[in-house]
Amino acid sequence: MLMRMASEPGRAFSTAELAAEFGLPRNHVAKIIQRLAYGGIVQTRRGGGGGAMLAQLPTAIRLGEVVRLLEKDHALVECFGPSERNCTVIECCRLKARLRSAETAFLADLDRATLADVALPPRDAAAA
């Protein structure tokens, strides 16, 4: 959705429009937009001509920032979460450090790119 919004940064997109374009439930889109608005990535407005639009230029939005915001409550693996009780090998596990290193490298790579780097091409009004 952000890649679409980056293609027309000054335009407001309705949740219904985004849901239809990406084949997602409207309620799911609304929840994502709400989280993005809370994180300052998008701004929303109600009424005619309302919807969600980028709160910053696409060149100012780092992809790592977006992933951190959207995945904040979702650990990569269970042992990164608040409870490690379900892991039977936690005392001798050598995988956790490697996974943490991989996660750090993944986010660092995303931090090198902006939303402008991955923006979708603008939609042709005639094709829409």
pLDDT of residue 84: 59
CATH number at residue 74: 1.10.10.10
Identify the domain containing residue 83 by its residue range: 2-118
Distance between the two ends of the chain, CA-based, in angstroms?
16
Inside any domain, residue 123: no
Look at residue 124 and tell me if it is in a domain: no
pLDDT score for 124:
67
What is the reported pTM? Answer: 0.81
What gap in Å lies between CA 53 and CA 82, rounded to an integer? 34
Q: DSSP assignment, residue 39?
A: T
State the DSSP H helix or E strand holding residue 51, giving kind and residue range, or none if neither.
strand 51-54
Contact between residue 69 and residue 39 where contact means Cβ atoms under 8 Å apart? yes
Number of folded domains that form the chain: 1
Written as tens digits, the pLDDT of the chain (128 aa) is 999 999 999 999 999 999 999 999 999 999 999 999 999 999 999 887 789 999 999 999 999 999 999 988 777 777 777 665 667 777 778 888 888 899 999 999 999 999 999 999 887 644 54
